[in-house]
Every structure is written in structure tokens, then in C-alpha cells.
Amino acid sequence: MLFAIEAVLDIAYHAGGEPVQSREITRRQGIPRRYLEQTLQQLVRAGVLTGVRGPRGGYRLARERRRISVGEIVRVVRALETVEDPYQDMPASDLGKHVIRPMWGDLSEEIMAQLDAITVDELCMRAYKGGIPSEAHQKLDFNI
């Protein structure tokens, strides 16, 4: 899940108007390429990213950074990992069924609400304020 957030942030932060290739993300973030490709394709299907074909192709955000939330990315990855609730068919005591699982569900909802409130744009601003260099500046070409 964290790799998916990192990959989307990498694309937003380093794109500079050009598509970002998965090998660039792997180089910068160390995300395993096999996992990365599958995740990027899922994010394309969900409308978070757009795939660009061709030799200079790659991925770019499908919408403005401020219109993509971390919660949306998390939901896409969760759907990829599991379709059903993994605890649904597991045996549980009365305490587990009536106290622990409802508490866990409430916490999960609170966390998702917080993640929905954080945009990719905010993460880019945190990276910028943290002094993390962006390769976007190298990609900008002002030659006429």
C-alpha cells in the first residue's frame, strides 16, 4: 500500500510535464518493478493514472494533484490485494465478534477519512518543503 502511494507521489513530484517510466520510479524509490507494474496498471484502470504508450511513454496523473487523495490510492490497492474481508470467515469469540471487530472497523473508517483528507498535492508540498530535489526541473526544456 505504501509503495502505491510512493509511486503516485513520485509521478506527481518528478513528472515535469513528461510521462514517468516505471524504471525511473524503481530507480528513485527502490520499489520492485514486478509489483510496481501491476499496481500502476490497477491505478490506470481506477482512473488515478493515465498510461502513455510509445518509446517516451510512461505514466502521468489522470487528474490534478489536488484532486487525488491518498484514500483513493489506498482503496485501489486494497481492492487489488483482497476482494473480501479476510476476517469474515474466521472463527471468533463473542468478544472478538462484538467488541474487537467493530472497534477495528471504526478505526479503519477513521483512518480512511483522514487519508481522504490528504491530497497528492499536499504530499508534493511536504516533499518540496523537506528539501527533496525534484527531477521535474531537469525535464523542463525552454529551447525554442
CATH number, residue 7: 1.10.10.10
Model confidence at 86, pLDDT cuts 50, 70, 90, reads low
* Containing structural domain, residue 62: 2-84+119-139
Q: Is residue 96 part of a domain?
A: no
Instruction: Tell me the sheet residues that pair with 59.
Output: 20, 51
Closest residue by Cα to residue 118 from 51, 66, 81, 61: 66
Exposure of 88 by Cβ count < 10 A (0-12 exposed, 13-18 middle, 19+ buried)?
A: exposed
**What pLDDT does residue 19 have?**
95
The model's pTM is 0.85
- Total tally of structural domains belonging to the chain: 1
Q: Is residue 52 part of a domain?
A: yes
Q: Is residue 12 part of a domain?
A: yes
- The size of the chain, in residues, is 144
**What pLDDT does residue 113 have?**
97
Q: Is residue 98 part of a domain?
A: no
Mean pLDDT score, 76-97: 75
Q: Is residue 71 part of a domain?
A: yes
Residue 10 CB partners (closer than 8 Å, separation 6+): 20, 24, 25, 28, 29
Mean pLDDT score, 103-121: 96
Q: What is the pLDDT of residues 28-72, one digit of tens each?
A: 999 998 889 999 999 999 999 999 999 889 999 999 999 999 999
